[in-house]
Amino acid sequence: MCGIVGYIGKKLAIPVLIEGLKRLEYRGYDSAGLAVLEDNDLFIEKTKGKVQDLENLVKSTKHSGTAGIAHTRWATHGAPNRVNAHPHTDCSGDVTVVHNGIIENHRSLKKYLEDRGHHFKSDTDTEVLAHLIEENYNGSLFETLSTALAEVEGTYGLAVISKKEPDRIFAAKKGSPLLIGKGKDEYFIASDVAAILRYTNEIIYLEDGEIAELTAKEFNVMSLDMKKVSKKVQQISWNLEMIEKDGFEHFMLKEIFEQKTSLRNTLRGRLNYDEGTARLDGLLENIEQLKNASRIIITACGTSWHSALIGEYIIEELAGIPVEVEYASEFRYRGPIINKGDIVFVISQSGETADTLGALKETKRKGGTVLGICNVVGSTIARESDAGVYIHAGPEIGVASTKAFTSQVLVLTMIALMIGRMKNLTLENGRKIVKALDDIPDLVEGILNRNSEIENIAKKLSKHNNALYLGRGYNFPVALEGALKLKEISYLHAEGYPAAEMKHGPIALIDKNMPVIVIATKDVIYEKIMSNISEIRARNGTILSVVTSGDEQIKELSDIVFEVPETLTFLSPVINVIPLQLLAYHVAVIRGCNVDQPRNLAKSVTVE
């Protein structure tokens, strides 16, 4: 969603802020703005559009300020235009604020402030913060922030600067990600570490209810009631190269290709062939609890929810524990029943998705155990879970999630294997799974080497306006994921469906203009999916099948076939999704879509 960057130090602030915003643009982008303190004044510039538009506006200006804040916006309240772009100022123009999150009581606060003579310029919820600070100002912005925020309901990650205190910048967090970067005689504020990785990897994560004051030399963190909080500086292992395109045209393509290494990183040090099991250090203390779990609930959003569905099948098959999968947004609000003996897994690439975090909190409030599966180290969900596993996929910048998905599936498989081996799974079967897991990165690499085959298929698919994705068993979630990828970045209408359910509705859509992508690799229900393909054939649908290498039967029924290597059935999603990711990518490129920044979408959805 919206991204925040702040800087105080010796460097010129504007280039640091623009560079940071560019790194954050993947989170959401419909307008951007910045504010810089200079000679006891504030220079503010903002615009509708991309960070590049903002950069064009400021590049000819000569501003020597070395402290400032900046924002890239994904509109929640108020249209995406210049007036609604952040930063927002108070009436006097002394205080300026950038904010990520939603101020839920902004209407009542606005009314109160208007009654007290404040004039509002924008339609945003954020602007109330600037006026609230103005209204409460007592000579110390740090203290004022605590008083003002006590009146605020909702979520915020925010940064504030004021002409009245030009040697410092301020930050506050509740429910939206925010961190401090420590440099040499300089400090940064960012909603995402990617914004400041170029300058530092020493990070101080803010917790909910904390406010911070930064000068070029030091930082101070307080609770909302102004009690000092001591904070640890953490070193993170990500570096700048990991968040650059590395010669690829798009981050998405880079990340698809990275799967040959990201999957190895996910598995590294975690497989034990001799014992036919996996070792996940983050879950060591929960092993007994997992073994004795009466039920596992997995909750997530988007692509992570698709990997959860695969996890459901794998855990039930290997570990014999009933699993339920829920959209986090539904789970958190419907009063879920969490019994003693239940374990709730939350899956989130970013570790910041508001609904997933809400589901985590709801579980904890009910006394349940939450285990996190996250990619971003130090993210809120990772920190707030009772324990968990990192997927180690490395930074994912492309809005459409790719490498996180496959790594999540491998982690879920390792969890299922680990529990299964403590229960009824035999050593022999355990070893088979370890071997198959170990082989996955090479198989993925083999498919990636056939990228041009997919590009050719994409040329045909890109001429259509709709697509249906079908799969059964483990390949049903793959169908959902394939369809999601296509619609996210190419704006083609695509639906994923369990192949057998097709005859209860979607079959009505099938004619020669409806391409149907069937994921039909060999498994126990292979014969059944073949019948489904015949049903499509009989209605003149165009069939593109993903099949196990050497399959002649489905080949005969299909218009186009893409062969993939054989693996264990429950690992086939990791293989089968690769051609679908590439297919979506190439269709989007052919159709001239902005692959890394698809319209209306954001990488990290930090609002409900």
List interacting residues with ligand G6P (CB under 6 A): 301-304, 348-350, 353, 356, 399-401, 601, 603-605
Which residue among 173, 260, 487, 603 is the active-site one? Answer: 603
Which of 570, 211, 596 is CA-nearest to residue 415? Answer: 570
Judge whether 49 and 6 are in contact, CB under 8 Å: no
Smallest distance, ligand G6P to C-beta of residue 306, A: 8
Nearer to ligand G6P, 399 or 443 (CB): 399
Smallest distance, ligand G6P to C-beta of residue 173, A: 18
Nearer to ligand G6P, 485 or 586 (CB): 485
Contacts of the segment 404-407: beta carbons below 8 A, 24+ positions apart: 404/303, 404/304, 404/349, 404/375, 405/303, 405/304, 405/306, 405/307, 405/481, 405/577, 406/259, 406/262, 406/263, 406/444, 406/574, 406/577, 406/578, 407/262, 407/263, 407/265, 407/266, 407/375
SS3 content of the chain, % helix, strand, coil (to 5): 40, 25, 35
Cβ-closest position to ligand G6P? 302
Nearer to ligand G6P, 251 or 562 (CB): 251
Q: Amino acid identity, residue 201?
A: N
Smallest distance, ligand G6P to C-beta of residue 235, A: 23
Nearer to ligand G6P, 212 or 328 (CB): 328
Residue 603 annotated as catalytic: yes
Nearer to ligand G6P, 144 or 349 (CB): 349
Smallest distance, ligand G6P to C-beta of residue 595, A: 13
Residue 2 annotated as catalytic: yes
Smallest distance, ligand G6P to C-beta of residue 72, A: 16
Smallest distance, ligand G6P to C-beta of residue 607, A: 11
**C-alpha angle 353/587/251, rounded to 5°?**
45
- For 256, other C-beta atoms within 10 Å of its C-beta total 27
Smallest distance, ligand G6P to C-beta of residue 154, A: 20
DSSP 207: P
Nearer to ligand G6P, 31 or 304 (CB): 304
| Cα separation, 475 vs 499, whole angstroms | 9
481 CB-near residues (< 8 Å, 6+ apart): 303, 306, 405, 496, 573, 577, 580
Which of 568, 520, 524, 525 is CA-nearest to residue 544? Answer: 520
Nearer to ligand G6P, 162 or 329 (CB): 329
* Residue 387, strand partner residues: 371
Asked whether the CA dihedral 25, 28, 33, 35 is positive or negative, the reply is negative
| Cα separation, 330 vs 278, whole angstroms | 32
**Looking at the annotation, which residues are catalytic?**
2, 603
